[in-house]
């Protein structure tokens, strides 16, 4: 008898469901799987956008819109399922339980036990740092789920505004891998474009340069770092230690880069940096390095795009290149 693909598929689904029921995930395991599923969707989006970047400009625009709509549909479906799975473990987004559930998710991400126990000694500084990072990640996860409930995709609107801004200037976006290194990879892409070949620095070398510059010019960055990272009730004498830990994360992890790191990059490279956005006013950094009549790679500005709603994950940077390059 010939094999019946439909029966096989249904049988596989039943087996998969039974296995899922037998193997109950912990919250930590579920969050880890959710991150992997989100990363897989990001990879799929990158591949689809690459495939769509062919044909005439009109064809590319139509294909890009179709890709955005399809990824938005898949992303919404994925986040809804993930929210349902979290709800089964008791972590819903209801108003009454939201704060307690968020706190537990934060602790799970940070590697801190969520079981009830007698309060012990004051948490160590390292635990505080992990919980603060986890708090940011959990808040980001929560924000993602809230955004997915919107009927109109903020990302689609943002992309359309950015495209309307860049197209008349003769520029387009070169998609950068969303792996936490996007700022540094985007700058690396710009430097490669300026040199007409490979970049003089890899994204990892750029990270190390930024960390070294921030350490050397700590007093220039500490006021801004303090305003964003000062924990309630924490003594100021720990500021230097926390700033050093921050610099260490820049050079040795996939920590996302922001305004502090951009400020360091413009001085490290002695480059004018232009950041275009479809959600906020454009930003210029390092105007003192902006070239006038000079020509050549050293006089070119670094041009990036800032995406508030990229991949349904929040902040992301891409490289802005001449349309003729694509």
The catalytic site residues sit at 179, 182, 316
DSSP state of 230: P
d(CA 195, CA 182): 20
DSSP state of 142: H
Rounded to the nearest 5 degrees, what angle is found at the Cα of 287, between the Cα atoms of 283 and 290? 115
Total residues belonging to the chain: 326
Strand partners, 174: 319
Q: According to DSSP H, which parts of 149-238 are helical? A: 154-166, 182-195, 203-216, 218-229
Residue pointed to by tokens 């008898």: 1
Do the Cβ atoms of 107 and 127 come closer than 8 Å? no
State the maximum Cα–Cα separation within the chain, in Å, rounded to a whole number: 78
Q: Is the dihedral of CA 178, 179, 181, 185 positive or negative?
A: negative
d(CA 240, CA 302): 31
d(CA 304, CA 143): 24
């Amino acid at each position: 008898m010939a094999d019946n693909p439909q029966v096989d598929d249904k049988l596989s689904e039943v087996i998969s469901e039974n296995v899922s029921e037998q193997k109950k995930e912990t919250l930590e395991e579920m969050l880890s799987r959710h991150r992997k599923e989100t990363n897989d969707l990001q990879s799929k989006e990158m591949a689809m956008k690459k495939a769509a970047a062919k044909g005439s400009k009109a064809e590319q625009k139509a294909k890009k819109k179709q890709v955005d709509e399809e990824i938005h549909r898949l992303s919404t479906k994925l986040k809804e399922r993930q929210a349902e799975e979290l709800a089964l473990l008791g972590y819903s987004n209801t108003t009454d339980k939201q704060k307690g559930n968020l706190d537990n998710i934060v602790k799970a991400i940070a590697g801190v036990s969520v079981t009830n126990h007698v309060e012990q000694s004051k948490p160590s500084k390292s635990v505080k740092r992990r919980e603060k990072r986890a708090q940011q990640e959990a808040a980001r996860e929560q924000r993602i789920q809230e955004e997915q409930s919107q009927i109109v995709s903020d990302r689609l609107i943002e992309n359309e505004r950015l495209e309307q801004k860049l197209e008349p200037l003769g520029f387009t976006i070169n998609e950068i891998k969303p792996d936490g290194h996007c700022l540094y990879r985007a700058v690396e892409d710009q430097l490669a474009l300026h040199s007409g070949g490979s970049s003089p620095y890899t994204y990892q070398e750029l990270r190390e340069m930024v960390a070294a510059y921030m350490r050397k010019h700590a007093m220039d960055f500490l006021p801004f770092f303090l305003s964003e990272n000062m924990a309630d009730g924490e003594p100021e004498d720990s500021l230097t230690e926390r700033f050093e830990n921050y610099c260490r994360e820049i050079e040795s992890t996939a920590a996302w880069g922001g305004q502090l790191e951009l400020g360091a990059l413009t001085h490290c490279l002695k480059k004018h940096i232009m950041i275009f956005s479809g959600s906020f006013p454009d930003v210029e950094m390092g105007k003192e390095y902006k070239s006038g009549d000079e020509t050549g790679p050293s006089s070119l500005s670094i041009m990036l795009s800032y995406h508030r709603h990229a991949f349904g994950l929040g902040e992301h940077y891409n490289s802005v290149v001449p349309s003729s390059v694509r």
